[in-house]
């Protein structure tokens, strides 16, 4: 009904509510404004979401490996978490595609640390779009820099 549409917040999952701001009674909320976060009671597999810029997005495909460095856990100390691209949105929003990432080993890092999950974790992701060996990935930027110096 119209009343429900205008005055009711409905969650797609059951869980605990945590507010993102301080709210007071009878305070107005704008349409689309983030009001709260639902922390699901059922623990399922962890799903990551990445904002992928348009540049180079055509190379990314389902199954590509993703390495993630979480802001709260310095990667030099804790390592990175490995995941795989699960899905890519078909249409960008504000210049970014949304990429869903599965973590088959949970949030266990390469250094064997288990990262504590919390909602809306932030970090940086690196998506590997081809199967090059790590040594080649390190050498390519060096080779490119040398080539540019030789051209000068």
Using a CB cutoff of 8 Å and minimum separation of 24, what contacts does 46-49 make?
Answer: 46/103, 46/106, 46/107, 46/117, 47/86, 47/100, 47/101, 47/102, 47/103, 48/83, 48/100, 48/101, 48/102, 48/103, 48/125, 49/98, 49/99, 49/100, 49/101
Contacts 24+ apart (CB under 8 A), 132-141: none
For range 54-67, the mean pLDDT: 91
Residues 125-146, mean pLDDT to the nearest whole number? 74
N-terminal to C-terminal alpha carbon distance within the chain: 69
pLDDT score at 27: 85
pLDDT, one tens digit per residue, over 76-125 is: 999 999 999 999 999 898 899 999 999 998 899 999 999 988 878 899 99
How far is 148 from 136, CA to CA, in rounded Å? Answer: 18
Q: What is the structure's pLDDT at 135?
A: 63
Judged against a pLDDT cut of 80, whether residue 133 lies above it is answered with: no
Best mean pLDDT range from 4-8, 83-87, 140-144: 83-87
- Per-chain mean pLDDT for the chain: 83
Domain ranges of the chain: 2-40, 47-131
* CATH H superfamily, domain 47-131: Efflux pump adaptor protein, beta barrel domain (2.40.30.170)
């Amino acid at each position: 009904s119209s009343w429900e549409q205008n005055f009711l917040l409905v969650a797609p999952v059951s869980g605990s509510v945590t507010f993102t701001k301080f709210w007071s009674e009878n305070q107005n909320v704008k349409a689309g404004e983030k009001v709260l976060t639902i922390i699901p009671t059922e623990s399922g597999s962890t799903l990551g979401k990445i904002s992928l810029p348009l540049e180079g997005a055509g190379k990314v495909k389902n199954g590509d490996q993703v390495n993630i460095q979480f802001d709260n856990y310095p990667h030099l100390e804790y390592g990175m978490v490995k995941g795989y691209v699960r899905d890519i949105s078909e249409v960008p929003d504000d210049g970014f595609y949304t990429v869903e990432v599965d973590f088959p080993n949970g949030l266990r890092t390469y250094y064997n640390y288990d990262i504590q999950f919390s909602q809306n974790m932030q970090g940086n992701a690196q998506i590997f779009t081809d199967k090059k060996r790590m040594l080649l990935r390190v050498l390519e930027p060096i080779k490119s820099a040398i080539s540019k110096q030789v051209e000068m």
